[in-house]
Structure 1
Amino acid sequence: MNASLRSHYLEALGIPEFLHIQVKIQSLNRPKIDTQCLVIETKNLHSFCQIGKTQNFLFKMLGAIGLEKSDIKCVSTNIDDLNQTLKQYNAKTVLLMSADLKPSLMQHFVAHHPSEVLTNKQLKRETWEVLKKVKRCFK
């Protein structure tokens, strides 16, 4: 739409021109962040994005399949923002650690959140099986 036609429409709607400013979205031009493993959680009281017991356990879990801390990016997001979050990364694998999140691609995996595994030891076996699948993506 040309500027003249846009001005005409804005005037017809009673919207001052200065209220309708076109802004380029910076994120469209931002390069994606490369990572071996993107680990995503929804908001959690014991977030692995914060330094502490849960984060240490997460790094131990992923270290067991050969990943270094530098290979891992941790993100906490809302369910509604998951697709937008995924678009920001170029990840070889994505580990979704929330029952609310659903995998959308073959390299996306769902596992129990580390805080759940720490409080319920019976979840370790199931989580380990998922981690073995993640490891196969790196071969």
Structure 2
Amino acid sequence: MSITVNLKRITNLPGKYDRKVELSFRGFTHKTKILQCENIAIFNEHFRWPHYGKIIRDEVLSISVYNCSKMFSHRLLGKLVISLQHVVTAGRLVLRERLTDAHYSLTDVYVELDVRYHPVQGAAGGWESADFLSVEDADE
């Protein structure tokens, strides 16, 4: 089992700074390379978290976007927290969402990404009776 994320791009970024993104899942963090850009940052980077253990239905993926500075500390532009419940059931989630700032207000910055869930090979997944259609026998 694994989770893969394709971070496509971030738009409506303020100012002209170096940008960096951190993606976290279950305490493990992946970081992008630092890009020099203005209002659009095109990353097209792939990240993968192998997953062992219980189903991740109640887990979240956290994305943080930073302005980078060589002299000062990095400034958080916004954050996006995604529940992975839909990803587990559908297998894929394509998003274009706004970030929230430190006060949980929506910002004008959008992040575009593609999240995929890869179950164990050969696993059938969870089945419920509502997933099956009842078929009436035509001979009766």
Q: What is the TM-score when the length of structure 2 is the normalising length?
A: 0.23
Q: What is the TM-score when the length of structure 1 is the normalising length?
A: 0.23
Higher helix residue share: 1
Select the structure of larger CA radius of gyration.
1
Higher strand residue share: 2
